[in-house]
Amino acid sequence: MIVNFLLNGKPQKIEIAPGDFLLDTLKAIGVTSVRRGCETSSCGVCTVLMNGAPVLSCSLLSARVEGQTITTVEGVADEISKIADHFGDEGADQCGFCNSGIALAAFALKTQKPNATDEDIKDALSGHLCRCSGYQSQVKAIRKYLGDPS
């Protein structure tokens, strides 16, 4: 079957099998930023945005993206670069494996809830596992990305 969707602003027309997951479809067409972790909807590293909202690509059937808009790190590189700078400043980029998923969650939060509270930030981070930190550094970095210098 064929699935049509917008990926980072570019139309895609891709042959898929009915049971394919978006993570595999994106990797098959050369998207390198999306990471493969647990593949059981538990770690968040495979996060992409569908119509601006975070989704787990390891558990989203590729057929479900027909007519939808998918965004990966490559599509919002300037914003991700700003987030990465804050991660660096706050010591939130250690091994970095979790960062692309968390950065997309932070970008989605900025677009959907620019006046987010710390509780909103923690909600946005829920489902994103980080083996290296206690999450405080990510919360502080995202708070600064959202414009709060404290």
Residue 33 touches ligand FES, criterion: CB under 6 A: no
Query: Which residues ranging from 74 to 133 are in contact with ligand FES (CB under 6 A)?
Result: 94-98, 130-133
Q: Are 82 and 44 in contact (CB under 8 A)?
A: no
Pairing of strands 47-50, 10-15: unpaired
Q: Does 53 bind ligand FES (CB under 6 A)?
A: no
- Of 7, 44, 5, residue with least CA distance to 130: 44
Between 55 and 76, whose beta carbon lies closer to ligand FES?
Answer: 55
Would you count residue 37 as binding ligand FES (CB under 6 A)? yes
Which one, 12 or 94, has the nearer CB to ligand FES? 94
Rounded CA separation 35/23 (Å): 8
CB contact at 8 A, 73 and 31: no
Residues in the site for ligand FES, rule: CB under 6 A?
Answer: 36-39, 41-46, 56, 58, 94-98, 130-133
